[in-house]
Amino acid sequence: MQQAQQQFHSPGYYIRAASTPWELFGAADLRRRVFVEEQGIFTGSDRDEIDRIATPLVALSTYAHEADAVVGTVRIHQQEPGLWWGSRLAVDRDFRQVGRLGAELIRLAVRTAQTRGCHTFLAHVQRQNVVLFRRLHWQPLGEVTLQGVPHMKMQADLAYYPPLSDPAAGWYHPVRRGIGA
């Protein structure tokens, strides 16, 4: 049975800016499932005024190399010229063991902002994710509490994130056998 299940595992993931209605809906639905239902941080919805100006980014699972579901998301926005924020990083519970989906979304977020003139990229990171961000060359700036949840304000070292010429195209992230598969 396990061998039969492996035949249907996604061979890889598209990491890119959301560009279709189903991707935007999928990102919003994933955020609701993670931040409202699973973590209980918000009641009803996590949507806020930033959603009107933010660029949603997604990780898309594939079936036969065609995108079929939003399994990760993060949003970015420019607060003032050159100052960018990332927020609402979420990976579907069933895909958290897939190698590097969160890290790939973080990379896409900072590289997309770099393309758009970023000189500073910040995020409020939940405590359990600080280690991941530190491994990705982010520095802690201080602890804060948001919605009753401890976070660390962190800043990306932009030297590790070259600009990305086409965030809508993004890249394909293959999953290698034995690594998160």
SS (H, E, C) the chain: CHHHHHCCCCCEEEEEECCCHHHHHHHHHHHHHHHHHHCCCCCCCCCCHHHHCCEEEEEEEEECCEEEEEEEEEEEEEEECCEEEEEEEEECHHHCCCCCHHHHHHHHHHHHHHHCCCCEEEEEEEHHHHHHHHHCCEEEEEEEEECCEEEEEEEECHHHCCCCCCCCCCEEEECCCCCCC
pLDDT of 2 > 50? The answer is no
pLDDT of 146 > 90? The answer is yes
* Assigned fold of 2-174: Aminopeptidase (3.40.630)
Q: How confident is the model at residue 97 (pLDDT cuts 50, 70, 90)?
A: confident
pLDDT of 62 > 80? The answer is yes
Q: What is the pLDDT of residue 176?
A: 66
pLDDT of 64 > 80? The answer is no
Query: Stretch 41-64: mean pLDDT, rounded?
Result: 93
Query: Stretch 157-170: mean pLDDT, rounded?
Result: 93
Q: What is the pLDDT of residue 178?
A: 47
| pTM given for the model | 0.89
